[in-house]
Amino acid sequence: MAPLILYHFAPSAPSRAALLVVRNLELDAEIKEVNLFAKEQLAQEFVNINPQHCVPTIDDNGFYLWESRAIASYLVDSKASGSSLYPTNPTERALVNQRLYFDAGTLYPRVRAIAFPALFLGETKISDEKRKQVYEAFGFMEKFLTGRKWFCGDKMTIADLSILASLSSIVHIGASLNDYPNLKTWYNQCAIDVKGYEENDAGAKYFAQKVTSNLHDKF
């Protein structure tokens, strides 16, 4: 059987989230870079695989899938069913899904609202409202972590990996965790327990460098 292929671009938080799942499941996978800055995602070969031409995308022996959170759940269910990274208990899984949807619908869009205009639209400043929105998301996460080591309880899940990829991006852009002790403790715990943490961090730093090089003010 052909190995799993992950089409990946390190500056992309969703792409790094999928890679973190691969690393923490210790899957044998071929990582193929698709450089979005060079518009390699528009190559016909890639568009044939994914008409939305986005990363991450996987090829699992001819099964193509994109959207990082869909990839994360699929990889656990298909490669490591029963793993605590995506529990099968309905209430536990529902909480993981809620945190994933929070990342997809709240945290990551607020990171993207700062990064995308700076990278592609010539924006040179971060508005106070955008800063406020990021810190509001931090406040939600602070409450999610009350009485918990990880976002869904005592064990790491794919929700933690997805949130880590998004959060590390905005932290390296300049957002501070100092007013959010639960979140800061969790972030530091990730550095200890998450396989591939350094790899993710390097991608987040590169992404942040590209963003901040276009900004005239700090976060």
Percentage helix, strand, coil for the chain under 3-state DSSP, each rounded to 5: 60, 10, 35
DSSP string, 62-87: TEEEESHHHHHHHHHHHHSTT-TTS-
The DSSP secondary-structure symbol of 55 reads S
Q: Is 12 a catalytic residue?
A: yes
Active-site pick, 12, 166, 168, 169:
12
| Beta-bridge partner residues of 7 | 32, 57
CA distances from residue 75 to 14, 81, 119, 197, 203 in whole angstroms, order as listed: 15, 9, 31, 19, 22
Active site positions, annotated? 12
